[in-house]
């Protein structure tokens, strides 16, 4: 409700909703943007009703503790800016300029310190969530943030050029039953210590744990109008929940895209110089036209692909 009081304390703005998708983004691809936009679109009606500001950001890391090398952060940031231009997705550089290794637990603690009253959500795939007990203090992430976990399908072959993205919300009755059954299986894949944090509704990511509804009619609702989130008793709490989004997303990886780029680069390097230049221009046109002749057309933003070619990133020579 609009605040008309002259009291400074009552003029305190409502907590913002901040969601973060972390990763190396090496390179950023359309799969990353699809996940981030899905979360944004899901949360937007809730944020609008609550009159809260919504921020969904990509959180590029300096270098993953599980990787031995990554592309210069300046290049990765430049590609992220190109990919997110004219979108609602933001970029947070918190981790990018830190000396690696940088751990997620340290980042979420920093974010909680920066935004003590906001609702913080960390987005990840189930493949990452089920291994949180192997991360540094991974089981403590929910002390600081909520988790939004996507169901990643088995890895897609980038060379197929097929991108289903996130599956349609409109499911047949049979698919809905399968989805419920799949969700039950997905819940058991999380480390046991985190399973008590699971909630069936993303709206629960915006309310404190002590206010769990005892009304079973609301427990499975994803309708942002069902709980009374405008209640004065609802205040932000640091204890996080975990929402498992059972809609499958295509699991293409940046590693696969790099490998495909290296193969294309290796092929073009065997051509004479003039033919090589023509081939590079043709590849960019394939991406812009979204043609099936180039398997990367489904995955890379045209400006990002042009940047990769212009700066000779991911060339086969780099990895010899």
Instruction: Give dist(CA 55, CA 152) in Å, integer.
Output: 23
Residue 64: what pLDDT? 58
Residue 121 β-bridge partners: 19, 146
Query: Is 129's pLDDT higher than 90?
Result: yes
When comparing pLDDT for 88 and 289, which is higher?
A: 88
223-255 pLDDT tens trace: 443 444 444 333 344 479 999 998 877 667 888
Query: Is 67's pLDDT higher than 70?
Result: no
Give how far Cα 274 sits from Cα of 50, 51, 316, Å: 59, 57, 19
Instruction: Give dist(CA 221, CA 204) in Å, integer.
Output: 10
Structure tokens at 52: 């809260």
Residue 4: what pLDDT? 46
Instruction: Give dist(CA 140, CA 142) in Å, integer.
Output: 5
Mean pLDDT across the chain: 75
Give how far Cα 58 sits from Cα of 22, 40, 84, 106, 308, Å: 6, 12, 9, 17, 19
At which residue do the structure tokens 């540094």 appear?
136
Query: Is 271's pLDDT higher than 60?
Result: no
Single pTM value for the model: 0.76
Query: Is 94's pLDDT higher than 50?
Result: yes
Instruction: Give dist(CA 153, CA 249) in Å, integer.
Output: 6
Query: Is 6's pLDDT higher than 60?
Result: no
Residue 299: what pLDDT? 87
128 closest CA partner among 259, 249, 257: 249
φ, ψ of residue 76 in degrees (nearest 5): -65, -40
Q: What is the mean pLDDT of residues 197-214?
A: 70
Report whether 244 contacts 187 (CB < 8 A): yes
When comparing pLDDT for 21 and 8, which is higher?
A: 21
- Which alpha helices (DSSP H) does 198-272 contain, by range? 216-219, 254-269
**What helix, strand, coil percent values describe the chain, rounded to 5?**
45, 15, 40
168 CB-side CA count, 13 A: 4
Residue 103 pLDDT class (50, 70, 90 cuts): very high
Report whether 105 contacts 135 (CB < 8 A): yes
């Amino acid at each position: 409700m609009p605040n008309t009081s002259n009291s400074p304390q009552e003029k305190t703005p409502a907590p913002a909703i901040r969601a973060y998708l972390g990763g190396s983004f090496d390179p950023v691809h359309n799969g990353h943007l699809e996940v981030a936009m899905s979360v944004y679109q899901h949360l937007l009606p809730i944020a609008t009703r609550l009159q809260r500001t919504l921020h969904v950001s990509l959180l590029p890391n300096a270098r993953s503790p599980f990787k031995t090398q990554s592309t210069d952060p300046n290049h990765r940031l430049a590609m992220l800016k190109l990919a997110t231009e004219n979108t609602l997705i933001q970029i947070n550089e918190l981790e990018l300029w830190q000396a690696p290794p940088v751990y997620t637990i340290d980042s979420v603690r920093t974010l909680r310190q920066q935004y003590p009253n906001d609702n913080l959500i960390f987005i990840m795939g189930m493949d990452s969530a089920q291994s949180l007990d192997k991360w540094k203090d991974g089981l403590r992430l929910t002390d600081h943030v909520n988790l939004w976990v996507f169901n990643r399908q088995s890895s897609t072959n980038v060379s197929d050029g097929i991108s289903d993205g996130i599956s349609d919300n409109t499911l047949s009755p049979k698919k809905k039953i399968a989805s419920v059954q799949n969700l039950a299986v997905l819940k058991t894949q999380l480390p046991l210590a985190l399973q008590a944090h699971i909630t069936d509704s993303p709206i629960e990511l915006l309310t404190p744990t002590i206010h769990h509804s005892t009304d079973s009619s609301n427990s499975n609702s994803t309708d942002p109008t069902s709980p009374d989130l405008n209640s004065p008793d609802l205040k932000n709490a640091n204890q996080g929940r975990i929402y498992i989004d059972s809609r499958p997303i295509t699991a293409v990886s940046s590693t696969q895209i790099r490998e495909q780029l290296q193969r294309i680069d290796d092929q073009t390097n065997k051509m004479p110089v003039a033919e090589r230049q023509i081939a590079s221009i043709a590849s960019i046109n394939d991406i812009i036209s979204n043609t099936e002749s180039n398997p990367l057309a489904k995955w890379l933003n045209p400006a990002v692909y042009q940047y990769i070619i212009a700066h000779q990133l991911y060339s086969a020579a780099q990895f010899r």
